[in-house]
Structure 1
Amino acid sequence: MMLKHAIKKSLIATSLIAASTVAYAAEVEVLHYWTSGGEAKSVAELKKIMEAKGVTWKDFAVAGGAGENATTALKARVIAGSPPTAAQIKGPAIQEWGQEGVLANIDSAATAGKWDSLLPKSVSSVMKYQGHYVAAPVNVHRVNWLWINPDVLKKAGAKTPTTWDEFFDAAEKIKKAGFVAVAHGGQPWQDATVFETVALGVGGADFYQKALVKLDQTALTSANMVKTFDTLGKIKTYIDKDSAGRDWNLATAMVINGKAGMQFMGDWAKGEFTTAGKQPGKDYLCVAAPGTDKSYTFNIDSIAMFKVKNPDSQKAQLTLATAIMSPEFQEVFNLNKGSIPVRPDIPRGKFDSCATKSMDDFAASSKANTLEPSMAHGMAVSSAAQGAMFDVIAKFMNSNMTSQAAVQALAKAAKTQ
């Protein structure tokens, strides 16, 4: 692994820097990429909780919706021997960092908070490295949502779609009415978000699991995968020409402002609607993407703790982990962010209809075994395989590449280690 090689190479530099670094008592430096409206509001609440506990919050925010920029910044800090106290990382990346020997054990906070009994095993296992907690889960996001502006739908004479045929019928009517049918940002992670949602809708949870989690070559080269790219190619025709490089929240703003009819995006998009003062069911609709009503692709945000030498910093880490899992923070963070609490014991009273549907669907999908980790959001495959697959999907979205060529390229990319 390139990261491991770089870290080993810098061991001497690490010891020199560590020896000369002055750590501040009771301070946490947190690297994260929660920078949009709803997200930033959520982080401010965590900062407030920490400061009330006598811990200074040093913000290390790195913009970029999928966290690529934050990951680059984190690698640079770890290689330089001065990791932040904590960082927003998730899924298989937690295991990758664990293998580098740089993550801190926070079992004492987990034991005191009874995390093992509170968290579903599918969640707790992701937060552990070699049986020990090294990260605290913040929330559960559903990825396979379709966000709709009902006024645009009404003006276009279209109805809320539940199937792909209905979706394209609605998209065509919206386009003919002079609106952008599909709000989208032409960034690799956004392209991959739409792709995996289409794959789930076209082939179902079993196909998704085989193709995008297990990276099974038969599934990756199947007729379902060809159909997935065919469907994605058709969606592409309803995206406006100015989408290249557009941030996801700006695409959401197009739906909020009535410039666009629909957007495929995880439920962090709801945080933008909430910040804009919009009400679900009235100003916007949240529906499962076509064909995915009985399934649930999830993305769990988490904060991993890095090894620090200062005893006060170590105590501050445990305070941070405890604060993240507190009912107080779980409620306020997820109300702002659009996600749902990772704790199942949080009262539902303050959560809106989109959130309660997400809670119900999460529980139902977990029971039906149709709960799937998001490939696009770093929950399913290694960062190397994910990056290679992103490249193929982005190329397909930005060229005249055929579905058959894309399928072969994706299957090859999935072999990347």
Structure 2
Amino acid sequence: MTNRVLTLSRLAVAAALVTSGLAAQAGEVEVLHWWTSGGEAKAASALKATLQAKGHTWKDFAVAGGGGDSAMTVLKSRVVSGNSPAAAQIKGPGLQEWAKEGVLANIDGVAKAEKWDAVLPKVVSDVMKYKGNYIAAPVNVHRVNWLWANPEAFKKAGAKVPTNWDEFFAAADKLKAAGIIPVAHGGQNWQDFTTFESVALGVGGADFYKKALVQLDAGTINGPVMLKVLETFKKVKGYTDKNAPGRDWNLATAMVIKGEAGMQLMGDWAKGEFIAAGKTPGKDFVCVAAPGTAKSFTFNVDSFAMFKLKNEANVKAQNDLAAAIMAPEFQETFNLNKGSIPVRLGMNLDKFDDCAKLSAKDFVDTAKANSLVPSVAHGMAVPPAAEGAIKDVVSQFWNTDAMSAKDAQVKLAAAAKTK
């Protein structure tokens, strides 16, 4: 769209607001995010258009870097200097840490008016609150505990897509015998832990996962189930290839796409790679819950924290932004682009593919069954210091052939005490 057309459309909106007596409420929202890839940028544009339609000005504050580390460094300097943006992409326990600093706004007014408590699972809404008040708006849900498989590779090997860990290793043996790398993996600590938490969930179940990896309960970490989890996890390593260390996750996904590898344990952002390669779910690739986890769901939720502002017009714009993020229209547009599913319950999913529909069904079912759990690997479950310490132990165990599961268990218990 040309600047002239944009200007005209803004003038038209402004005129409409004047007519309705609301022009004084038009404000500016500055939004810090790291949605700079193609699909994500499209989604951010949709949010921008929604705000502009309400007469507000959108000030884009995009900081490249998929994990958001660079964005957080910039945000800290802005907040310290008393120049906070209206909203920033923050998630998980990080929200509580910012809230404790007293810099986040209470957006209960929007949440109550839009009935957020009724359309969000409690386990998600709790993450968005501090001392009972909403401080952030959730954008999407990524399911982390997925297994992606190449059906042609499985056919060639005479194997079946596994539903439990015994079947997983049986299929891996058949793939290996057929000259196919059984498991595509990228040796980075978050990828190691993505695999580890799926093993923990599949071997131990949701209650074990919560006690061991969310509550960091010493008795559970030191127990026999964790020992079995560690042994199973290390066994997976034997089915990866020697070039795995340091490989990016999307390159591992490409191995499955090409049929060089049979399987990958990765979150649903991997689906974006299959789709971008022109592949069709159910035909060219298979999406199933990681072995033993069909009745559980590890979630990774992106969200926007709202910072305290002084200008009333900007506060109104900020509230409109929070409402727009949770609106069905944006939830659909954004998640179709991102490969994730709407965080809002009860959405029409006609435009979504079969993997997303399965994810959405399991999201609802596991929320009711109390088996919807936060992903440690993706910053949703424990404070950053403890998360970093237990990730380091898991990667050290993965990469050290001489380390026994018992040794790793002792180190894991010590790491879990990190504050």
The answer to whether TM tops 0.5 is yes
Q: Contact 2:345–2:364 (CA<8 Å) still a contact in 1?
A: no
CA contact (8 A) 1:50 1:57 kept: no
SS at match of 2:259: coil
Aligned to 2:48: 47
Change (3 A) 1:71 1:249: farther
RMSD of aligned residue pairs (Cα, Å): 2.1
Q: Which residue matches 1:316?
A: 317
2-side partners of 1:248 and 1:72: how far apart?
A: 24
- Structure 2 distance, partners of 1:408, 1:42, is 44
Q: For the residues of structure 1 that align with 2:261 and 2:335, how far apart are their CA atoms?
A: 26
Contact persistence 1:38–1:274 (CA under 8 A): no
Match of residue 403 from structure 1: 405
**Alpha-carbon distance in 1 for matches of 2:127, 2:329:** 23
Counting only pairs closer than 5 Å after superposition, residues 32-43 of structure 1 correspond to structure 2 as 32-43=33-44
Alignment match, 2:129: 128
SS of corresponding position for 1:158: coil
* Distance (Å, rounded) in 1 between the aligned partners of 2:103 and 2:91: 15
Map of 1:217 onto structure 2: 218
Report the CA distance shift for 1:29/1:397 in structure 2 as closer, same or farther (over 3 A): farther
The 5-angstrom pairing of residues 83-94 of structure 1 reads: 83-94=84-95
* Equivalent position of 2:65 in the other structure: 63
Instruction: Give CA deviations for 1:233-289 in whole Å, capped at 9, x if unaligned.
Output: 111122233333333233223322333221111122223323333221111111011
Alignment check: 8 A CA contact 2:324 2:330 kept: yes
SS of structure 1 residue aligned to 2:205: helix
Amino acid paired to 2:266:
M
| 1:268-347 paired onto structure 2 within 5 Å | 268-347=269-348
TM-score normalised by the chain length of structure 2? 0.87
* 1:252–1:37 CA distance, 2 compared to 1 (3 A): farther
Match runs of 1:376-387 below 5 Å: 376-387=377-388
The 1-side partners of 2:359 and 2:49 are apart by 27
1:197 Cα offset (Å): 0.6
Match of 1:304, SS state, is strand
**Counterpart Cα distance in 2 of 1:57 and 1:268:** 27
Contact 2:35 2:62 in 1 (8 A): no
Q: 2 CA distance for matches of 1:26 and 1:252?
A: 43
Which one has the largest radius of gyration? Answer: 2
Distance of aligned partners of 1:332 and 1:275 in 2 relative to their CA distance in 1, 3 Å threshold: farther
Counterparts in 2 of 1:263 and 1:51: CA distance versus 1, 3 Å: farther
Structure 1 stretches lacking a partner, 5+ long: 1-24
Q: Tell me which residue corresponds to 1:258.
A: 259
Deviation for aligned residue 1:206: 1.6
Q: Which amino acid aligns with 1:211?
A: A
Q: Secondary structure at the match of 1:140?
A: strand
The whole-number CA distance in structure 1 between the counterparts of 2:324 and 2:258 is: 36
CA contact (8 A) 2:151 2:286 kept: yes
Residue 80 (structure 1) shift: 4.1
User: Unpaired segments of 5 or more residues in structure 2?
Assistant: 1-25
Structure 2 CA distance, aligned partners of 1:214 and 1:73? Answer: 31
Structure 2 residue aligned with 1:8: none
* Aligned mates of 2:39, 2:307 — CA distance in 1: 26
TM-score by length of 1: 0.87
